[in-house]
Amino acid sequence: MDVRIGVLALQGNVSEHIGAFERALAGMGHTDQSSVFPVKRPADLERCDALAIPGGESTTISRLIDKNQLDEPIRRFPGGIFATCAGMVLIATRVDDPKVRPLGLIDMTIDRNAFGRQKESFETDLPVKGLLGGPFHAIFIRAPVATQTGLGVTVLSRLPQGIVAVEQGRHMALAFHPELGGDTRLHERFLKNLKI
């Protein structure tokens, strides 16, 4: 089965997400017809079965989404969305910063930079609900947390500061950066949930 994954390429870890999804697809035995490519405009999004919104700076990415006229196309996008760090901020319904215009795709309230500044970045082995093979080694960089989730949102993992991984339908949002390690289990879980 072939799948086309777009990575929002406005700012952030674009090449790292492309590489991680390519490794995940290869590990799952997808054919050469599957592809992972950058998305910069609405026409690119129309070719996608799934979209990754990478980490970066959420206020900057929010502004660039508007500038590139991607706000409504992403809101209407019928495929799954894989959002990490700043991406988790952007797909929430409520954010603690008025400069971020959330897309409202997962019913949750987000606290940006919940762990402090860049120097408070850290790594930890994180239990993730339903993930086989043991804890996931998670890299947190100026990470957000969800402080509240609505009906239909499954909490996959939390730390004392708040919720750091959720799923809702085809969407997955993570406060950390799975694309920076070699473990593609969360990318693969997301792809399996697409049911393409």
Query: Does residue 30 carry a catalytic annotation?
Result: no
Segments in the chain below pLDDT 50: none
For the chain, what percent of residues have pLDDT higher than 70? 96
CB under 8 Å, gap of 24 or more: what pairs does 26-32 form? 27/184, 27/188, 28/188, 28/191, 28/192, 30/1, 30/2, 30/3, 31/1, 31/2
What number of helices (H) and strands (E) belong to the chain?
Answer: 6, 12
Helices 14-27/185-194 angle, 10° precision: 70
Q: Which helix (H) or strand (E) element contains residue 71?
A: helix 71-76
- Domain tally for the chain? 1
- The structure's pTM equals 0.94
HSE, CB side, 13 Å, CA atoms: give it for residue 45. Answer: 24
Catalytic residue among 17, 48, 85, 167: 85
The domain of 72 spans: 4-194
Q: What is the pLDDT of residue 1?
A: 61
Active-site pick, 17, 171, 177, 187: 177
**What local confidence, expressed as pLDDT, does residue 27 receive?**
87
Q: Tell me, what's the pLDDT at 13?
A: 81
**Count of Cβ atoms closer than 10 Å to residue 37 Cβ:** 14
Find the CATH number of the domain harbouring 135: 3.40.50.880
Active site residue 179: yes
Asked about 57 being catalytic, the answer comes back as no
Q: What was the pLDDT predicted at 137? A: 97
3-class DSSP state for residue 134?
Answer: coil
Give the pLDDT score at 31: 65
